[in-house]
């Protein structure tokens, strides 16, 4: 891994993090090395930070997507991380093939290891690959379901990412996203971001001696949109909103949408 400073020994926290996050041309240069660092403990972190709720959120998102596109055979899981959602999608649709795409090579290495071990039962139908959510390699209208967990918030240009999702989905295809959002209620937003910042910095320090690798989450939410604003973006890019489920008073939301144009 090469960090944005060019030194393999550099710490992400030594950088001007806000400068990277607010500059679309530099954001990915921060995000990808960060996920390379956290890949070995990513699944443990999501369980810890969500107090175990993350698994239930993902199960409900998968069920909702399949309900919209019950005959799906070609599925694409974006920001796939260690491939946990991709494997669950493959089990939910036994005849389907799933592409698990992530920008982090180390995350994709972890996904391949899962498929070799705990997810070996679906390994023949899940293909991990390194890729860019803003420039997907899939052909136009070639996918029945697109899923993305905690991914849109991390791209340099969310609107371009949604356009790419729309491009590869067939008409009538389903999109399901699960992500952090900026809560609309100011007092709760302040408390929510404070908790994520403090807890993230502590876990980042104890696990990696680099607080920002998890403290980053609060900063990224602060600069992101609300769940309602994301719904509006989906509509502008040719999606019909099927459902929106909010968790943690709007700090997390699941969007299910259908490609209509």
pLDDT per position as a tens digit, 203-255: 888 887 777 878 888 988 998 999 999 999 999 999 999 999 999 999 999 99
Q: What integer pLDDT is reported at residue 14 of this predicted model?
A: 60
Q: Which residues contact 9 (CB under 8 A, 6 or more apart)?
A: none
Q: What integer pLDDT is reported at residue 152 of this predicted model?
A: 96
Q: What integer pLDDT is reported at residue 208 of this predicted model?
A: 77
Closest by CA position to 62, among listed 212, 199, 204, 175? 175
Q: What integer pLDDT is reported at residue 255 of this predicted model?
A: 97
Q: What integer pLDDT is reported at residue 11 of this predicted model?
A: 61
Q: What integer pLDDT is reported at residue 7 of this predicted model?
A: 39
Cβ contact 133:148 at 8 Å: yes
Q: What integer pLDDT is reported at residue 251 of this predicted model?
A: 95
Q: What integer pLDDT is reported at residue 1 of this predicted model?
A: 38
- Give the tokens for residue 148: 């993305």
b/e map of 12-39 (b: 16 or more CB within 10 Å)?
bbebebeebbeeeebbbbbbbbbbbbbb
Cβ contact 85:146 at 8 Å: no
Q: Which residues of the chain have pLDDT under 50?
A: 1-10
Q: What integer pLDDT is reported at residue 5 of this predicted model?
A: 40
Measure Cα distances from 165 to 97, 115, 180, 192 in Å.
17, 25, 18, 29
């Amino acid at each position: 891994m090469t960090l944005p400073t060019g030194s393999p020994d550099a710490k992400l926290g030594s950088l001007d993090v806000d400068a990277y996050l607010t500059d679309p041309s530099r954001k990915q240069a921060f995000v990808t090395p960060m996920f390379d660092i956290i890949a070995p403990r990513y699944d443990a972190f999501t369980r810890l930070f969500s107090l175990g709720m993350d698994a239930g959120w993902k199960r409900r998102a998968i069920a909702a997507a399949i309900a919209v596109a019950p005959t799906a055979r070609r599925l694409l899981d974006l920001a796939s991380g260690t491939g946990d959602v991709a494997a669950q999608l493959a089990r939910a649709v036994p005849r389907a093939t799933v592409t698990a795409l992530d920008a982090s090579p180390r995350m994709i290495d972890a996904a391949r290891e899962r498929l070799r071990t705990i997810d070996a039962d679906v390994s023949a139908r899940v293909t991990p690959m390194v890729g860019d959510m803003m420039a997907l390699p899939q052909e136009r209208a070639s996918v029945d379901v697109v899923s993305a967990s905690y991914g849109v918030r991390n791209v340099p240009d969310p609107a371009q990412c949604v356009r790419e999702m729309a491009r590869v989905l067939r008409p009538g295809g389903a999109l399901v996203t699960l992500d952090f959002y900026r809560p609309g209620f100011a007092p709760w937003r302040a408390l929510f971001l404070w908790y994520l910042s403090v807890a993230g910095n502590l876990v980042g320090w104890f696990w990696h001696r680099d607080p920002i690798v998890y403290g980053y989450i609060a900063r990224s939410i602060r600069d992101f949109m609300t769940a309602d604003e994301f719904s509006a973006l989906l509509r502008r890019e040719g999606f019909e909103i099927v459902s929106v489920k909010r968790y943690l008073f709007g700090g997390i939301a699941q969007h299910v949408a259908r490609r209509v144009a």
